[in-house]
Amino acid sequence: MSNNHFLNKFKIFFSIFFLLQMSCQVASEKKQAVTTENFRFLEQDIAELQQGFIDGTYTIKEVVDAYLKRIGEIDNSGPMLNSIIQINPDAVKNAEQLDLEMAEGNIRGPLHGIPILLKDNIDTHDNMATTAGSRALVNSHPLKDSYVAKQLKEGGAIILGKANLSEWANFRGELSSSGWSGVGGQTKNPYVLDRNPCGSSSGSAVAVSANLSMLAIGTETNGSIVCPSTSNGIVGIKPTVGLVSRSGVIPISFTQDTPGPMARTVMDAAICLGVLTGIDPADEKTVAGQGRFYKDYTQFLNKDGLKGKRIGLYQAPMGKNFKVDTLLYKAVDFMKRQGAEIIDINEISTDEVGGYSFQVMLYEYKDGLNKYFQSLGPGAAIKSVEELIAFNEKDSIELKFYNQRYLEMAQEKGDLTDDAYLQALASMLKGSREEGIDRVMDLHHLDAIIAPTGSPAWKTDLINGDSFQLGSSSPAARAGYPNITVPMGYVDALPVGISFFGRAWSEPVLLEIAYAYEQGTKHRKAPKFITPE
């Protein structure tokens, strides 16, 4: 694929944004902004960055050096975002190699020279560990690259490092705080620093939003890409399960897990998605993607993509936060003006589906983690879920703020031949698919469904844990169907996103609609790192 394909006409004219007046729950707090706009590549996109490589304005090494310097200034000091667990010690060397290849006329792919971070539950076979944020895995070095890491390297991306996360992708215990891990500590929201980044792909979202990386890869089982994306004002794509391989990704659920791209624009997320897709013999779910995946999703991006679309408005998350509702209704009005027809949808699936999903996750968590530990070879520090539980009980930090109830519940389960598991799996899939999203979309002849992705970020509370108010990730997550979130506006200084989800393998139409909405509204604003006083 030619690199020039991505050097398109879309250029960002960026300006310095002034702080919004804080009101409601933060109205009484005096705010102080950290000056962080003096970054050469602030809010640049892939096309702009690669144009600079071609023009000779800067080298890939210079770009990597600049991002690493910014990480040192903002993530490790200053606002202290704690979004990155470890820096790739070979990042500069890899950049120099890519500069050499470009000078010789060899462009690896559409991400040639683009800085990216991986959530630290995605394996890399290099000088970085893969920890899942757990102190049990601080010295765990996988025996090979994950499929995701392999695809990114072949596409020319520079892996800057590993992003912090909610430990074990936020499926370890009760009363957890999103963005906290025993290895990385608590990740902060870059818009208002005492607010939570959501999770579990917390560091991935924060780093992209704070311009510490051009792109990041997150993973989602239910909400772990879209929630941190909405809370940190970026674009997140949770693909159809099977579109992107999970081999080499520390698992929760074989049925629901998927990696996905996180970016500041739909265009950049679409470019990255195309690099990630493919058939991987090590992940049987990808076999279903044969003939259904693309290596170039930018072909579906259309500024007029809302015209003639029938879109369902999912009502369940509405009525819980009038400020979010107000933003959603403004989005609906915009879509109608662009030629879309909006149809109210009251229910997608029954409450029982959530219970089935939880049981499926527990069974598959035990099975998947044990298999992952086995993949690390005989020298692995942890060889089973049972050993992990024992490690946490003895550690001085791991259980300081919350327990490991979900690990313990998973350990109590049988294997994947149990009738209870098979019945829960069948009931979940039927309730979320043919009696859920597919039924609703067939009934109303829909192209997509929309809903607010979540509420504004809550204040981080390590004692009481997260304070979720609303969300819309579950229908698509339980079905294994795609979901894209895009910035929708702000409640005071805090961003809120809108989700576009639909049938399996419907990424092309969802991207078309999401791109048209993004280009017509352009809500994305760089964070100001506000510190309450």
Residues belonging to the active site = 119, 200, 224
Tell me the angle at which helices 46-55 and 266-276 cross, rounded to the nearest 10 degrees.
80
Element holding 262 (H helix, E strand): strand 258-263
**Separation CA 520–CA 167 (nearest Å):** 37
Any bridge partners for residue 494, and if so which?
Answer: 491
Q: At which residue do the structure tokens 């510190």 appear? A: 531
3-class SS of residue 115: strand
Phi (first) and psi of residue 85, to 5 degrees: -80, -40
Q: Which of 312, 231, 295 is nearest to 495 (CA)?
A: 231
**Separation CA 125–CA 144 (nearest Å):** 5
**Separation CA 132–CA 138 (nearest Å):** 9
Instruction: Tell me the CB-side half-sphere exposure of residue 378, using CA atoms within 13 A.
Output: 0
**Separation CA 216–CA 205 (nearest Å):** 7
User: Hey, CA dihedral for 439, 321, 473, 522, is it positive or negative?
Assistant: positive
Q: Which residues, at least 6 apart from 375, have a Cβ–Cβ distance to it below 8 Å?
A: 142, 143
Asked whether the beta carbons of 315 and 450 are under 8 A apart, the reply is no
What are 462-465's contacts with CB under 8 Å, separation 24+?
Answer: 462/177, 462/180, 462/186, 462/401, 463/175, 463/401, 464/175, 465/174, 465/175, 465/176, 465/177, 465/402
Q: Which of 318, 306, 309, 305 is nearest to 345 (CA)?
A: 318
Phi (first) and psi of residue 266, to 5 degrees: -65, -40
Instruction: Tell me the CB-side half-sphere exposure of residue 6, using CA atoms within 13 A.
Output: 31
Asked whether the beta carbons of 212 and 71 are under 8 A apart, the reply is yes
Tell me the angle at which helices 266-276 and 147-154 cross, rounded to the nearest 10 degrees.
110
